[in-house]
Chain A
Amino acid sequence: DGGITQSPKYLFRKEGQNVTLSCEQNLNHDAMYWYRQDPGQGLRLIYYSQIVNDFQKGDIAEGYSVSREKKESFPLTVTSAQKNPTAFYLCASSGGQGYTEAFFGQGTRLTVV
């Protein structure tokens, strides 16, 4: 069953701790993305990767880090430097460079207390 999987669905962390969100896809897509969604706002791009071992910052990369060691995986680390980390995080993948549809995971809702 092909798709994109994010885990966990809900995550709670204490302030000051780093946390890593998982994103795995078996669609053989080259491009992967991380978005942040806040209530009443659209999706804002954090990081994206168009090929293995390469990634670029999106509009709100500060306080986040990523890696792309495998085509299937694109984990996102929310560091303690992120001032307002509580949000809904969505991972997506697409088959081409910005010209094809994006497939989204189910999302991870991160709450920092």
Chain B
Amino acid sequence: GQQVMQIPQYQHVQEGEDFTTYCNSSTTLSNIQWYKQRPGGHPVFLIQLVKSGEVKKQKRLTFQFGEAKKNSSLHITATQTTDVGTYFCAALPLTGNQFYFGTGTSLTVIP
């Protein structure tokens, strides 16, 4: 079945440091979404990537979709304590009709 791996599983950073999480699929994707879940909360949509090699930015967050449309990354520049939470990718396979969520990366920001 569809496998979506995310690394790392956990990341602790000092406030102000950068952070990156990677999402890798076993199959080619149609598109990929990213969500953030705060501790005790529910996932909230951040962005969707559709095109091969696409790069999108939201303030300090940079999202990339790989050229082969099998992987994606989320990079946060100069982390803040408000960035704390778990970041999930959700992948839509080229031949599928449902999104498969990655295992998530839990980010802790140390003030």
User: Does A pair with B?
Assistant: yes
Q: Is the CB of B88 within 8 A of A103?
A: no
Given the complex of chains A and B, what is the CA–CA distance between A90 and B44 in angstroms?
A: 12
B residues apposed to A, CB below 8 Å: 1, 4, 6, 9, 31, 33, 35, 41-45, 48, 88, 90, 92, 96-104
Closest B residue to A4 by beta carbon equals B42
Q: List residues of chain B with CB within 8 A of the CB of A2.
A: none
Please give me the 3 A-B residue pairs with the lowest Cβ-Cβ distance, nearest first: A101-B45, A42-B101, A43-B101
Could you tell me the dominant secondary structure of chain B's interface residues? strand
Q: Is the CB of B102 within 8 A of A105?
A: no
Q: Is the CB of A97 within 8 A of B97?
A: yes
Closest A residue to B46 by beta carbon equals A101
Q: List residues of chain B with CB within 8 A of the CB of A58.
A: 98
Q: Count chain A residues whose beta carbon lies closer than 8 angstroms to a beta carbon of B.
A: 23
A-B contact count (CB 8 A): 52
Q: Is the CB of B42 within 8 A of A105?
A: yes
Interface 0/1 of A30-49, CB less than 8 Å to B: 00000100001111110010
A85 at the interface (CB under 8 A from B): no
Interface 0/1 of A84-101, CB less than 8 Å to B: 000000101000011111
A residues apposed to B, CB below 8 Å: 35, 40-45, 48, 58-59, 90, 92, 97-107
Q: List residues of chain A with CB within 8 A of the CB of B4.
A: 42
Given the complex of chains A and B, what is the CA–CA distance between A74 and B96 in angstroms?
A: 22
Q: List residues of chain A with CB within 8 A of the CB of B6.
A: 42
Query: Could you say which of B1, B9, B48 contacts A59, with CB atoms under 8 Å apart?
Result: B1
Q: Is the CB of B33 within 8 A of A101?
A: yes
Counting chain A CB atoms within 10 Å of each CB, the highest count among B43, B44, B104 belongs to: B43
Given the complex of chains A and B, what is the CA–CA distance between A100 and B31 in angstroms?
A: 10
A-B contacts, 11 of them at CB < 8 A, read A35-B101, A40-B103, A43-B43, A43-B101, A48-B98, A97-B97, A98-B98, A101-B48, A102-B45, A102-B90, A104-B44
